[in-house]
């Protein structure tokens, strides 16, 4: 039995779009052949700019949206084609934390009901007393008090709401948590509180998590391993330290270079990335990044680079490394 | 003597709601030196955006108004101006860029016409000259295929391109002051880097002074010359960018700087500022930050400190910053 909680193999998620009334159907390839795995007890960070497919990937793994190809294996079991009706036991194993704590909590349910609902649905406890006790325990664990249970979401600040969202995600004791931009809607001082809470929970509960974010510093802080995505593709993956210290893909380098450093003495001339991310409806052929890459050579616009293993688990998909390492 | 394009003195902007009065800006003083970029940093509810709206005079239609204080533009107090006079200033002498370019551009008006409209409003030139100026401004912002963009609508452009259009629009009529309210918050990092570089370059070319509102200390470190840190409608610390980052005096600034994760710096835990920004109706009695401050002592709870002058234009609103403060006092 492997220690991999999640394996994603060549996953594709295409959204159909019709241009005009009679236009033909085209596909936005939001996720286009992504392969990754998550080991037990690890935090896998996924970074990329808007439109790179990171949120779609998170939702597809939860089976919140349909897939167009590839497989999702949860604890070794293929859940890609399980019909909706039989999904419930797997839903218990994967839970999600959302970006906007103002939109993700139902306003007419008390905090108690929000946190208790998953436990009731999955018939985890036999008596109401047990559930009440568990709700209080979860609230305490995320740094809130028992009396908060009887209140409604609107009575809380953004940071507190995100804590409630985390408590709800923990309620089913999931094997995998998918956190989609969990701190990007929060103020700086509150962001660090929630990040520390997540770190504490990871340690104490040995949680496994996919952490999706656009902020490189936040991802570096919380993740063990990092995946960089661009236009629906994984361009680079590696251990956190390896990837941040020696990024290989020109896009990863550009992302790190563009991140503003909070130190006025570190001001520098940047190597600016030109242009914007191309439309996913009409992605460039070959390497998806070649239109913005300063190392672009003729092969880049013709042949799509395959991932190559450089060192340890550091993998990169770029023609610059065609003669380095081995195919991954 | 330093050349100040904008001086804000003892500014109070209050909102009069049915449920009570909210002092969003409560006694704010700062100066913007000509050709400089002044950053106003703070979290939501700190009053940074209301400060900028007071300066440009866009509080009409809200329950808020400037109740006290002066806003001196080139030495003249514009709070005394009539709405008609203010309107003349807006766009020609003071311009503003907002966070969300899509909601600040008119979605049913072609880009070229939106910019031309502003030029014709403020300058006495012919339509064809105005059109030439529109092309020049758009080219200045590094937009591609400008001749076609003037005939396009905002929805046809990407977020970064729209923000470039906003910048072109703001810089039309050569304003003395450009207020940028979180101009890159809605953009991706690589696009943010492009826009920040563009603003820096245009500042050099046009000599415009910039009031830069943001919550991101990374961006502050990149673009600002001077910084004002706001908390609960007050300035808690101000100084040069070097002062704020390297000689940090106020516990709130210190807490904010320490709570952001930094690339390449490994920490098991991030430092946190405990608690939340207080509700304006239940403000702490003494120092506004006292209930979240790790250095708080008796005096902080009773009496609000004024500014301690740390020299070279560096000020901190904290009892611990005063020269006569002794550590024993706090024990």
Q: Does B261 touch chain A (CB under 8 A)?
A: yes
B158 pLDDT higher than 90:
no
B260 contacts in chain A (CB < 8 Å)? 188, 191-192, 217, 262
B220 contacts in chain A (CB < 8 Å)? 262
- CA dist A298 and A303 (Å) reads 9
Q: Which stretches of chain A score pLDDT less than 70?
A: 1-2
pLDDT at residue B188 in the model? 86
- Backbone phi, psi, residue A37, to 5°: -140, 160
Q: Do B221 and A264 touch (CB under 8 A)?
A: yes
pLDDT at residue B331 in the model? 56
Q: Do B269 and A196 touch (CB under 8 A)?
A: yes
pLDDT at residue B300 in the model? 92
DSSP helix/strand/coil, B16: strand
- CA dist B70 and A40 (Å) reads 61
Which residue stretches of chain A are H helix?
Answer: 54-61, 88-93, 111-121, 128-141, 158-170, 188-205, 216-222, 240-245, 250-258
Q: Does B241 touch chain A (CB under 8 A)?
A: yes
Which residue stretches of B79-158 are H helix?
Answer: 83-89, 101-104, 111-122, 127-140, 146-149
Q: Which residue has the tokens 């293929």?
A: A78
Looking at the complex, report in whole angstroms how far the Cα of residue B8 sits from the nearest Cα belonging to chain A: 25
For the segment B305-315, the average pLDDT, to the nearest whole number, is: 94
CA B257 vs CA A268, B218, B248, B266, B267: distances in Å: 20, 10, 9, 15, 14
Report the residue from B215, B224, B272 with minimal CB separation from A193: B272
B281 pLDDT higher than 80:
no
- For Cα atoms A317, A321, A322, give the angle at the middle one, nearest 5 degrees: 90
What chain B residue is nearest to A195 in terms of C-alpha separation?
B270
CA A16 vs CA A68, A293, B284: distances in Å: 11, 29, 55
Contact assessment for residue A205 and residue A138, using Cβ atoms and an 8 Å cutoff: no
pLDDT at residue B99 in the model? 84
- Nearest CA among A250, A305, A298 for reference residue A272: A250
Q: Do B218 and A261 touch (CB under 8 A)?
A: yes
Q: Do B276 and A157 touch (CB under 8 A)?
A: yes
For the segment B44-65, the average pLDDT, to the nearest whole number, is: 90
Provide the sign of the torsion angle of the four alpha carbons B183, B188, B194, B196, taken in this order. positive
Contact assessment for residue A33 and residue A12, using Cβ atoms and an 8 Å cutoff: yes
- CA dist A211 and A203 (Å) reads 15
- For Cα atoms B250, B48, B33, give the angle at the middle one, nearest 5 degrees: 80
Q: Does B251 touch chain A (CB under 8 A)?
A: no
Beta bridge partners of A11: A34
DSSP helix/strand/coil, A279: coil
Q: Do A260 and B269 touch (CB under 8 A)?
A: no
Q: Which helix (H) or strand (E) holds B180?
A: strand B177-181
Q: Which helix (H) or strand (E) holds B192?
A: helix B189-206
- CA dist B272 and B313 (Å) reads 28
CA A236 vs CA A35, A227, B62, B200, B237: distances in Å: 11, 6, 49, 32, 42
Beta bridge partners of A237: A227, A315
Could you tell me which residue, A100 or B243, shows the higher pLDDT? B243
Q: How many CA atoms lie within 13 A of A69 on its CB side?
A: 11
What chain A residue is nearest to B255 in terms of C-alpha separation?
A189
A220 contacts in chain B (CB < 8 Å)? 261, 263-264
pLDDT at residue A1 in the model? 45
pLDDT at residue B190 in the model? 87
Q: What percentage of chain B reaches a pLDDT higher than 70? A: 98
**End-to-end alpha carbon distance in chain A:** 22
- Backbone phi, psi, residue B68, to 5°: -160, 155
**What token pair was written down for B97?**
């860029």
DSSP state of A302: T
For the segment B303-310, the average pLDDT, to the nearest whole number, is: 94
- CA dist B329 and B164 (Å) reads 53
- CA dist A90 and B149 (Å) reads 50
For helices B111-122 and B159-171, what crossing angle results, to 10°? 20
pLDDT at residue B153 in the model? 94
Beta-carbon contacts of residue B124 (< 8 Å; ≥ 6 apart): none
Contact assessment for residue B184 and residue B219, using Cβ atoms and an 8 Å cutoff: yes
DSSP symbols for A165-226:
HHHHHHTT--SEEEEESTTTTS-HHHHHHHHHHHHHHHHHHT--EEEEES-HHHHHHH-SEE
pLDDT at residue A160 in the model? 92
The Cβ of residue A64 has, within 10 Å, a number of other Cβ atoms equal to 13
- Backbone phi, psi, residue B244, to 5°: -65, -40
Least confident of A20-29, B152-161, B301-310: A20-29
Contact assessment for residue A159 and residue A133, using Cβ atoms and an 8 Å cutoff: no
Beta bridge partners of B135: none
What chain A residue is nearest to B188 in terms of C-alpha separation?
A49
For the segment B134-147, the average pLDDT, to the nearest whole number, is: 89
pLDDT at residue A267 in the model? 78
Report chain B's mean pLDDT, rounded to a whole number.
91
- CA dist B289 and B180 (Å) reads 27
Q: Per this entry, what is the length of chain B?
A: 331
List B residues 195-234 in contact with A (Cβ-Cβ < 8 A).
Answer: 196-197, 215-222, 224
For the segment B36-54, the average pLDDT, to the nearest whole number, is: 92
- Nearest CA among B145, B200, B189, B143 for reference residue B166: B143
Strand pairing category for B308-309 and B315-316: antiparallel
């Amino acid at each position: 039995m492997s220690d991999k909680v999640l394996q994603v193999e060549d996953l594709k998620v295409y959204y159909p779009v019709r241009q005009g009334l009679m236009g033909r159907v085209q596909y936005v390839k939001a996720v286009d052949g992504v392969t990754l795995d998550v080991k037990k007890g690890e935090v896998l960070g996924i970074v990329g700019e808007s439109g790179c497919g990171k949120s779609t990937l998170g939702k597809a793994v939860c089976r919140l949206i349909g897939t167009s190809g590839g497989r999702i294996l949860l604890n070794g079991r293929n859940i890609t084609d399980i019909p909706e009706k039989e999904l419930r036991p797997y839903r218990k194993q994967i839970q999600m934390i959302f970006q906007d704590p103002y939109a993700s909590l139902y306003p007419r349910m008390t905090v108690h009901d929000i946190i208790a609902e998953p436990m009731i649905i999955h018939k985890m406890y036999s008596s109401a007393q047990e559930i009440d006790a568990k709700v209080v325990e979860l609230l305490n664990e995320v740094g809130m008090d028992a009396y908060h249970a009887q209140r409604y979401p609107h009575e809380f600040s953004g940071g507190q709401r995100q804590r409630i969202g985390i408590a709800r995600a923990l309620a089913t004791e999931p094997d995998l948590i998918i956190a989609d931009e969990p701190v990007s809607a929060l103020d700086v001082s509150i962001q660090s509180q929630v990040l520390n809470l997540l770190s504490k929970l990871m340690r104490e509960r040995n949680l496994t998590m996919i952490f999706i974010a656009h902020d490189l510093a936040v991802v570096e802080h919380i993740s063990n391993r990092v995946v960089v995505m661009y236009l629906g593709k994984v361009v680079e993956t590696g251990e956190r330290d390896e990837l941040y210290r020696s990024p290989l893909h020109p896009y990863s380098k550009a992302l790190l270079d563009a991140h503003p450093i909070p130190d006025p003495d570190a001001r520098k001339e940047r190597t600016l990335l030109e242009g914007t991310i191309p439309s996913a409806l009409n992605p460039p052929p070959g390497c998806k990044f070649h239109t913005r890459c300063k190392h672009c050579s003729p092969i880049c616009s013709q042949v799509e680079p395959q991932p190559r293993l450089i060192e340890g688990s550091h993998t990169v998909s770029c023609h610059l490394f065609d003669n380095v390492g081995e195919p991954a | 003597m330093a050349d100040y394009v904008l001086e804000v003195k003892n500014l109070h902007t209050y909102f009069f709601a049915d449920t009570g009065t909210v002092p969003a800006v409560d006694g704010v003083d700062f100066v913007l030196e000509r050709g400089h970029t002044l950053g106003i940093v703070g979290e939501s509810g700190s009053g940074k955006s209301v400060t900028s709206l007071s300066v440009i005079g866009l509080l009409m239609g809200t329950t808020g108004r400037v109740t006290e204080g002066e806003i001196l533009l080139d030495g003249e107090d514009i709070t005394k101006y009539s709405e008609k006079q203010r309107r003349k200033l807006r766009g020609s002498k003071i311009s503003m860029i907002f966070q969300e370019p899509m909601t600040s551009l008119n979605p049913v008006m072609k880009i070229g016409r939106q910019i031309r409209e502003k030029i014709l409003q403020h300058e006495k030139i012919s339509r064809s000259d105005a059109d030439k100026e529109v092309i020049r401004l758009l080219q200045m912002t590094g937009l591609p295929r400008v001749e076609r963009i003037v005939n396009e609508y905002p929805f046809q452009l990407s977020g970064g391109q729209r923000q470039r259009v906003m910048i072109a629009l703001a810089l039309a009529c050569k304003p003395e002051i450009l207020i940028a309210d979180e101009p890159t918050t809605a953009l991706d990092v690589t696009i943010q880097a492009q826009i920040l570089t563009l603003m820096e370059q245009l500042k050099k070319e046009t000599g415009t002074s910039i009031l830069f509102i943001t919550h991101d200390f990374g961006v502050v470190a990149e673009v600002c010359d001077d910084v004002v840190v706001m908390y609960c409608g007050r300035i808690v610390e101000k100084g040069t960018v070097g002062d704020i980052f390297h000689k940090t005096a106020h516990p709130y600034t210190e807490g904010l700087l320490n709570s952001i994760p930094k690339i390449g710096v490994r920490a098991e835990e991030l430092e946190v500022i405990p608690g939340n920004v207080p509700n304006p109706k239940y403000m702490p009695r003494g120092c506004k930050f006292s209930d979240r401050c790790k250095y708080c002592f008796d005096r902080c709870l009773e009496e609000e400190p004024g500014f301690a002058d740390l020299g070279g234009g560096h000020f901190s609103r904290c009892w611990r910053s005063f020269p006569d403060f002794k550590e024993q006092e706090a024990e």
